[in-house]
């Protein structure tokens, strides 16, 4: 009997050690936010779990880990209301912490130590990345040639230098024979459109890990109307594409 009890104790200890190691090596859940916005950090619990309390902590890089909030049946407490978060933390519900008015320094690892009834402790973590708001993309157009039967246009979608986003041209309907779109490099498109084209709008998108901005252009404002297109020779357009060089963009379905 003693041998059996000792084996059970060893098995329970090993199971606890493995569980602790799994928690320690578990990758933090990725959360993305935008400067000035807000995010929710929500712990995942098994069905019918009863929470006694949750302790929230924060660490950035090699800095010290600080305790930032405590959830308990009695409510919400801030161990140090004068820390960098000030009044920007709040209890959204029993298992979610909200961070408002996000700042660049809020990026980092947030830990949640969850104490469940009767005597279970779980650790979860969140990796928060705070991004600057994306600017709307800019579309430039060059009218290369124009006849009563067709119009050739070069388009460029661009964002300010240093923008952390991927520029994408959204592909129009593929079955349109009166609208042909070809990538030309440097965030540019070579477009041929005919007067009978039904959908003459092309859309450019810039997307980061947390948001997306779009801008569209109607080719009818460039072709056959003397609109916004800049008259440019085909050779000049090709030279411009070479000088602009490659960029992070693609033609998306």
Tens digit of each residue's pLDDT (9 = 90 or more) over 68-122: 999 988 789 999 999 999 999 999 998 999 999 999 999 999 999 999 988 889 9
pLDDT of residue 240: 40
Q: Which of 100, 131, 162 is the last residue of a domain?
A: 131
Of 51, 101, 90, 50, the C-alpha closest to 68 is 90
Into how many domains does the chain fold? Answer: 2
> Burial of 63 by CB count in 10 Å (0-12 exposed, 13-18 middle, 19+ buried)?
exposed
Tell me the whole-structure pTM to 2 decimals.
0.64
Q: What is the CATH number of the domain that holds 80?
A: 2.60.40.10
Residues 157 and 122 in one domain: no
Examine the pLDDT at 168 and tell me if it is beyond 70: yes
Q: Are 111 and 153 in the same domain?
A: no
Average pLDDT over residues 167-181: 78
Full domain range(s) for residue 65 = 28-131
Q: What percent of the chain has a predicted confidence (pLDDT) above 90?
A: 42
The pLDDT of residue 26 is 63
- Cα 43 to its chain centre, rounded Å, is 20
DSSP secondary structure letters along 106-157:
G-EEEEEEEEETTTEEEEEEEEEEEEPPPPPPEEEEEEEEE-SS-EEEEEEE
pLDDT (tens digit, 9 = 90+) per residue, 128-141?
A: 999 888 889 999 99
Sign of CA dihedral 28, 24, 53, 109: negative
Whose structure tokens read 């000030």?
86
Average pLDDT estimate for 53-70: 91
Q: Are residues 236 and 153 in the same domain?
A: yes
Distance between CA atoms of residues 164 and 133, nearest Å: 9
Instruction: Indicate the pLDDT class of residue 243, thresholds 50, 70 and 90.
Output: very low
Q: Are residues 177 and 237 in the same domain?
A: yes
Lowest mean pLDDT: which of 50-54, 68-72, 151-155, 197-201?
Answer: 197-201
Does residue 253 surpass a pLDDT of 60?
A: no
Q: Does the structure show a pLDDT above 50 at 196?
A: yes
User: Do 162 and 242 fall within a single domain?
Assistant: yes
pLDDT at 247 over 50: no
């Amino acid at each position: 009997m003693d041998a059996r009890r000792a084996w059970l104790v060893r098995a329970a200890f090993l199971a606890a050690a493995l569980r602790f190691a799994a928690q320690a090596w578990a990758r933090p859940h990725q959360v993305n936010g935008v400067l000035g916005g807000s995010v929710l950090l929500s712990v995942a619990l098994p069905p019918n779990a009863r929470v006694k309390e949750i302790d929230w902590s924060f660490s950035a890089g090699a800095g010290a880990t600080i305790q930032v909030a405590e959830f308990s049946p009695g409510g919400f407490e801030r161990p140090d209301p004068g820390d960098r978060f000030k009044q920007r933390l709040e209890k959204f519900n029993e298992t979610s912490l909200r961070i408002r008015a996000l700042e660049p320094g809020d990026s980092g690892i947030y830990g949640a130590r969850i104490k469940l009834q009767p005597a279970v402790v779980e650790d979860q973590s969140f990796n928060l990345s705070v991004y600057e708001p994306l600017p709307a993309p800019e579309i430039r157009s060059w009218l290369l040639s124009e006849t009563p039967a067709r119009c050739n246009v070069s388009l460029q979608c661009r964002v300010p230098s240093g923008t952390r986003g991927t520029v994408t041209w959204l592909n129009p309907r593929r079955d349109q024979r009166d609208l042909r779109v070809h990538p030309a490099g440097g965030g540019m498109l070579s477009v041929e459109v005919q007067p009978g084209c039904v959908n003459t709008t092309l859309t450019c998108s810039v997307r980061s890990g947390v948001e997306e901005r779009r801008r569209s252009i109607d080719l009818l404002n460039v072709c056959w109307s003397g609109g916004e297109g800049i008259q440019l020779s085909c050779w000049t357009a090709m030279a411009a594409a070479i000088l602009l060089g490659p960029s992070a963009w693609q033609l998306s379905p």
